[in-house]
Chains A and B, each alone.
Chain A
């Protein structure tokens, strides 16, 4: 009995590791996270993160010294891409760190309590869904100033809607099930029912959604910085690098194409991982 969770975890891992796309996703995510954490130690030119200029080395094509070439002021693009992963991952962590708890609690409350709670929460959710996150971030950037923190808050202020909708529909299905009724009959508190009975049944759906969302938040964040509304230079950011490199297309293609591929790679990792988890937990309707 005591080793049952362990066996379960092992079985899950066994099934997960047999799924090639999920494993590829996991490997990509692990590589990117490790690279981002260890960036100052593994990059060849860590000082190129700042406003360094070396005009003799500008627009150099990819070589054994500068793996991804150099940009228009002679900085090593490979170094800046690795550091850029940090901003993208930070964005995903902060946005989802706000959106998931908020969305989950609202979704559970709306699904379980019903009545006015449900009406108010779900109608507010519908209104929030009518505003594209990117457009909201743009509006906030116009009112305040273009800045990473503001962008993150703007995206987070709308991102919870998807989690609310998902948790709401799961909770609605759970509400009438016997184990919930049993807990109610035994006089369990509302808190107990929400967090001890319903929440554990949402965890696998949340895990899948989180993994898929990481990729999508990173894409929205990259789009914002591509438009010049993310973190401000000289801090390396993948979207900003694509935008700056775009003015030197097609001759110096590596300056925008390689950072762009880095965004794609990162988002691909989270997407494959999420797909794998979906197969593993068998939660078909999570997008």
Chain B
């Protein structure tokens, strides 16, 4: 019951954030540039053409009415037409989002899956060489620009060692339509195409590493700090006194509460992961939403850009909602007390 009210509060709160986000985007898109109609038509358009498009887009109506229309469009999932592809922005984003989603999801799994154990190792052997090694790794992972790491990985694994493919999601020669979920890793399993699954994983590895490195370092650092914090608690001493084996003490009694700070921060870090995806997708020619965003920005394709920003924001809010629910499961104190 407590958990349900905690959940409802979080959902309502997320809706509020999204409304705020839509206002910010509306202000950027409609108020800042002056005249979107003139921007869309270019400098050579006649005043009549501009006036006609203004009426079509509803730009001659009061600003509140325009915002209402914008919101109404959003709730119907209508983000307008893209000037670049001359298709509805929703269709463009729907096609590209799956690739970004797959990349970002694998990145999070990689960052948590490697970062958290590294942090545990560092905390267990505090002030010994494994701790120092993890610390060095964390610092270098944090300060290496993701585009630079992406290029280095391309040179090393692609050109020098010829180990892994450096561009795209699948080889050009491979015919496969990811039609069920759009996620290659899942659709290939459903279709029983193990060759596709293997190739998809091979293509995913380098971009995911490039994107994950910084967050992985961050996770290692946070896990280390909170493990050391927890290890000083009385109940860990009690567990030791009861003779609970060391491995169980570390993995169960210490890891579970230590897991909360990294998990919460992971949600906030997620914004910079999406930002990083823009860069990494460009380097690896990953056919995702971020690459679409960059292409449309260079063409001043306002509807498309605002759609991409809005979808990124929604993605961020949903991931944070999911993480809050997970934190609630891991740490009962959170769901009883309410927000962190």
A228 CA to B225 CA, complexed, in Å = 38
Q: How far is the CB of A211 from chain B (nearest CB, A)?
A: 12
A260 is contacted by which of B148, B159, B279, B305 (Cβ under 8 Å)?
B148
Chain B residues with CB below 8 A from A267, complex form: 142-145
State whether B155 touches A268 (Cβ < 8 A).
Answer: no
A284 CA to B32 CA, complexed, in Å = 41
Chain A residues with CB below 8 A from B21, complex form: 127, 130-131
Chain A residues with CB below 8 A from B225, complex form: 284
Q: Any chain A CB within 8 A of the CB of B140? A: yes
Which stretch (A45-53, A108-116, A133-141) binds chain B?
A133-141
B306 is contacted by which of A127, A139, A246 (Cβ under 8 Å)?
A139
Which stretch (A36-44, A70-78, A174-182, A214-222) binds chain B?
A214-222
- Main SS at interface, chain B: helix
Chain A residues with CB below 8 A from B279, complex form: 134, 223, 226-227
A222 CA to B143 CA, complexed, in Å = 12
State whether A130 touches B152 (Cβ < 8 A).
Answer: no
A123 is contacted by which of B20, B140, B312 (Cβ under 8 Å)?
B20
B 293-315 to A, binary, CB cutoff 8 A, 1 in contact else 0:
11011101110011011001100
State whether A250 touches B159 (Cβ < 8 A).
Answer: yes
State whether B145 touches A130 (Cβ < 8 A).
Answer: no
Q: How far is the CB of B296 from chain A (nearest CB, A)?
A: 7
B146 is contacted by which of A140, A223, A287 (Cβ under 8 Å)?
A223
Which residue of the partner chain B has the closest CB to A158? Answer: B271
A249 is contacted by which of B25, B155, B302, B309 (Cβ under 8 Å)?
B155
State whether A223 touches B145 (Cβ < 8 A).
Answer: yes
State whether A219 touches B143 (Cβ < 8 A).
Answer: yes
A223 CA to B279 CA, complexed, in Å = 7
B312 is contacted by which of A135, A220, A261, A271 (Cβ under 8 Å)?
A135
Chain B residues with CB below 8 A from A170, complex form: none
A132 is contacted by which of B139, B275, B320 (Cβ under 8 Å)?
B275
B32 is contacted by which of A126, A135, A143, A268 (Cβ under 8 Å)?
A143
Q: How far is the CB of A242 from chain B (nearest CB, A)?
A: 6
A129 is contacted by which of B218, B268, B283, B305 (Cβ under 8 Å)?
B268
Chain B residues with CB below 8 A from A126, complex form: 17
A132 CA to B312 CA, complexed, in Å = 8
3 residue pairs, one from A and one from B, having the closest CB atoms: A134-B275, A127-B20, A132-B275
Q: Which B residues are within 8 Å of any A CB, using their own CB?
A: 16-17, 20-21, 24-25, 28-29, 32-33, 139-140, 142-148, 151-152, 154-155, 159-160, 218, 225, 265, 268, 271-272, 274-276, 278-279, 282-283, 293-294, 296-298, 300-302, 305-306, 308-309, 312-313, 316-317, 320
The 9 sampled A-B contact pairs (Cβ below 8 Å) are A130-B317, A131-B309, A138-B309, A139-B297, A143-B28, A220-B275, A223-B275, A223-B278, A268-B140
